[in-house]
Amino acid sequence: MGFENGHLMPFMGQESRGCQAGVTRPEYERLSRQPFRYLVTCRNKDPRDMKHFLLLFIAAATLGTTLSAQIERGLTPEAENGSIRQRFQHFKERREVSGTALPDDIRVRAIEQTRRMERSKLSEHLLADQPQWQQFGPRSTGGRIKSIIIHPTNPGTLYIAAAAGGVWRSTDAGATWTPLMDDANGIAMGSLCFDPVDPNIIYAGTGEQVIGSNFYLGAGLMRSTDAGATWSVLGLTTVGSFSRIYAHPTNRDLLMASCMNTNAGVYRSTDRGVTWTKQFEGTVYDMTINPTNENEYFIAVPEDGILYTSNGGQSWERRTSGLIGSFGRTSVQQSPVNENVLYALVELNSLATIAKSTDKGLSWTVQYNDPRGCFFAGTCSPAGSQGFYDNYVTVSPTDTNVCFVGGIDIWRTTNGGTSWSNQTGG
């Protein structure tokens, strides 16, 4: 299993006026063979409550039989087998009406509808006699982590962006976490960054960058000015997902965003996100900027691999000399302390390749080449490659010889790529 894992949907319990009913914790195997079992405890013996419960029991029995038949047909454990890509497709199809696609803004519309209902006196009347619901579990369903940022002056404060759970904050070095975006229009997340001057200002790119799918679209670029307590939409609301966002270290007015899915491309703002200009058209897997030069950055794209611009995106040139083959998903990062050094993790011919450049990408040296498909697949089968899914690289902010790359496991070099060691023991 990779360090990017999936998530489950919670079961819910319910409470009536006199009796409390809860759903047991069924495994999928039991759930596929028998209806729901209800555990009932009555707090009093009011005849009205008993009548209410009997009606509830009859309805639950009917529903349980129906669900059991549906589960037999469509939710067997065997249907969950297969590759990451197949499991994702299975997860997606179970949530879409056959022959249709979910609207891009379905979450935004649902939240707006909920807020209208909350303001409506009619909804208050309708909800007055409804049962109260409690979360039964499982919990911690935010999904895998897409981005981690550490407070520049307080290393005990961290923020993470969860694939399906919004932004979370820890003030005790990760021991406990607090969700910060549960009521936001979009909680599928792609990337985070701090303002270079004021770390209370945080930018969050919504939408999870899933290759070949528009299933987890976001609601644009969001900003918090109070360390995550509140959020507002800054712009780029038609963008499907964000693979990377930057506020330039030497110019806080300059924001850069690389995007995927709907309206994919590279976007640049010179007024802290008030207006945006599109600098590149098409899917961008990753982006890295030169911290000392506002106009110089690299992007990783399908087929062409790695592109470079020195004029703020007005023109691009391919820089892949030394890397031969079919480029899949690629991650690339420039050293913050040496602008000539870059590291890249490339799904090249469906196999993993770690490469390094010491001349701003003009030439690349392969440092690791996976001949059997173990790096991305775990089972040493190229056919099971997860390079489109588990693919990340980051360079130390203080030492150009230290770099981490992530596939199924996380690997580290401390000698500039001469050797790599597995940090997760896979």
Size of the chain in residues: 426
Residue found by looking up tokens 């030497």 in the block: 250
Contact 346, 330 (CB under 8 A): yes
Residue 225 has φ and ψ, to the nearest 5°, of -110, 5
Contact 10, 164 (CB under 8 A): no
For residue 36, what pLDDT is reported? 38
Residue found by looking up tokens 């039964």 in the block: 136
User: Strand, helix or coil at 392?
Assistant: strand
Pairing, β 305-309 against β 297-301: antiparallel
The Cβ-side half-sphere exposure at 404, using a 13 Å CA radius, reads: 10
d(CA 126, CA 146) in angstroms, rounded, equals 40
Label residue 95 exposed, middle or buried (CB < 10 Å: 0-12, 13-18, 19+).
Answer: exposed
Q: In Å, how far are 24, 247, 252, 322, 336 from 197, measured between CA atoms?
A: 51, 10, 7, 39, 17
Q: Please provide the distance, in angstroms rounded to a whole number, between the alpha carbons at the two ends of the chain.
A: 9
Would you give the distance in Å from CA 139 to the centre of its chain?
Answer: 17
d(CA 354, CA 322) in angstroms, rounded, equals 12
Q: What are 413-423's pLDDT values in tens digits?
A: 999 999 998 88
d(CA 372, CA 2) in angstroms, rounded, equals 17
Complete edge-to-edge strand list for the sheet that includes strand 403-406: 392-395, 403-406, 410-413, 421-422
Contact 375, 407 (CB under 8 A): yes
d(CA 195, CA 420) in angstroms, rounded, equals 33
Residue found by looking up tokens 């270079």 in the block: 196
Residue 368 has φ and ψ, to the nearest 5°, of -150, 130
- What are the structural domains of the chain? 1-81 (no CATH), 145-422 (2.130.10.10)
> For residue 89, what are its two tokens?
């497709």
Strand partners, 194: 202
Amino acid (one-letter) located at 77: P
Amino acid (one-letter) located at 339: E
Contact 186, 208 (CB under 8 A): no
- pTM for the whole thing? 0.70
Secondary element (H or E) of residue 87: helix 84-93
- pLDDT string in tens for the chain (426-residue length): 444 433 333 333 333 333 333 444 444 444 444 443 433 444 445 555 555 544 555 555 454 554 444 444 443 444 434 566 677 677 667 666 666 666 666 666 777 776 666 665 555 555 555 556 565 544 556 778 889 999 999 999 999 998 888 999 999 998 889 999 888 877 889 999 999 999 999 999 999 876 655 557 788 999 999 999 999 999 999 999 999 999 999 999 999 999 998 899 999 999 999 999 999 999 999 999 999 999 999 999 999 999 999 999 999 999 999 998 889 899 999 999 999 999 999 998 888 899 999 999 999 999 998 888 888 777 777 777 788 888 999 999 999 999 999 988 889 999 999 999 888 866
The angle subtended at Cα 316 by Cα 337 and Cα 274, nearest 5°, is 75
d(CA 189, CA 161) in angstroms, rounded, equals 6
Q: What are 187-230's pLDDT values in tens digits?
A: 889 999 999 999 999 999 999 876 655 557 788 999 999 999 99
* Residues in CB range of 374: below 8 A, 6 or more apart: 380, 408
Longest dimension (CA), the chain: 82
Q: Which of 259, 262, 168 is nearest to 215 (CA)?
A: 262
> For residue 364, what are its two tokens?
């690349």
Q: Which of 387, 386, 408, 373 is nearest to 83 (CA)?
A: 386
Contact 258, 299 (CB under 8 A): yes
Q: In Å, how far are 194, 325, 416 from 209, measured between CA atoms?
A: 20, 24, 29
